[in-house]
Amino acid sequence: MASAAQSPEPSTTSNNQSIAPRTPGGPSDQRQDHVVVVALLVEPASGRDRARFDRLQEVRRVHDQAFDRWLPHITLIPPFFISGNEQFLTSVDEAGKAQEPDDASANDDDGISKTLTELSSRLETACRQHEQHHLLVDQVSSFKLRAYTNIHLRPGRTRLQPSAATPGEDEVVGELERDFQAMGLARGSSVTMVEGHETILRLQQDLHACLLPVTQADRGERRARGQAKGKRGQHQGRSRGGQAGGSRGRSRSSFKPHISVGQAKDDAERTRLFELSHEVLRHGSDEGQDADVAGSTTKGIVCRVDRVTLLHKPLDRPGAYDVWRHFELSDPRGGL
């Protein structure tokens, strides 16, 4: 169970969007089905990244219908649900924003707590196999849904730390060194590796794989109860096989790490959101310098990737999620 001190800091956003504690609904909260999601909550790495994060929030306040439910995040395992009366998992199309629950709900010895505890054990083990690093989010993209187009930010290619360069690459080292200085990450800082989407893909794959034994163990019982729960399954978009994130989960090819900016319902809105997204990535920098240096890290938001978060809430409760636990990635200095 995460302590209040572990939750993302509400005081650092310019728009006062916060993550406040919620009073649990009591034992009935625990008997309901719960929605569960695994995510990376965005943590800016420097003052300039914080300013761009705040600018992103200003844009999201106007254009993102989920602004009041989510802080900026990258979903690693899409929402699924667990039962308070029986332990099983299946997918559901829902989203929310993190909140800290009271300790009472975590101490109830029931199906929800047992399942969350088992998931926590597996996620903790998987997270220890991955090192903390920094992620550069410097791309703007979109995907089309039935009712709208989602405009979002994405991480780009992997960047090597300067010390990884080989002899004879002085020019490359110099360019990378300038990039790191521009990001506010000194060469001697605790975590200097700036990664692209490949690192997040590997993390997501391992997290997905670690949940499969739990979902597969409960498949037989869930199928036996499938007819009785058919209406709920149809309403929530249950998947065959019950694996977290769908019948096949999120494969390497289908998983697209992204941070949502907003939703566009027509071409004009889409164009405007693309413009605003690029402005977010350049906020506070010299536009001329960005234009001269293709791919320079003066464009983008550098995020700290040092922990993964497991969130949940009762299926029929609107609004924000509760934080069940944070899982630290391993410290390359040997801290974990």
For 73, list phi and psi in degrees, rounded to 5: -160, 165
Q: Is the dihedral of CA 133, 124, 26, 239 positive or negative?
A: positive
pLDDT in tens, 2-49: 433 333 333 333 333 433 334 344 444 556 788 899 999 999 999 999
User: What pLDDT band is residue 194 in, cutting at 50, 70 and 90?
Assistant: low
Query: What domains can be seen in the chain, in order of their start residue?
Result: 31-328 (3.90.1140.10)
- The tokens for 203 are 């993390």
- CA–chain centroid gap for 246, Å, is 17
pLDDT at 105: 44
The SS3 assignment for 247 reads: coil
Ranked by mean pLDDT, the top range of 81-85, 135-139, 156-160, 176-180 is: 135-139
CB 241 within 8 A of CB 219: yes
The SS3 assignment for 97 reads: coil
pLDDT at 17: 40
Average pLDDT over residues 286-305: 62
CB 185 within 8 A of CB 298: no
Average pLDDT over residues 303-329: 93
For residue 52, is pLDDT > 80? yes
Neighbours of 317 (CB within 10 A): 16
Average pLDDT over residues 75-98: 62
Neighbours of 216 (CB within 10 A): 13
Q: What DSSP line would sit under 68-85, residue for residue?
A: TT--SEEEEEEEEEE-SS
- Residue 113, burial from CB neighbour count under 10 angstroms (0-12, 13-18, 19+): middle
Average pLDDT over residues 163-192: 40
User: What pLDDT band is residue 255 in, cutting at 50, 70 and 90?
Assistant: confident
Tell me which of 156 and 46 has the higher pLDDT.
46
Q: Is the pTM of this model over 0.85?
A: no
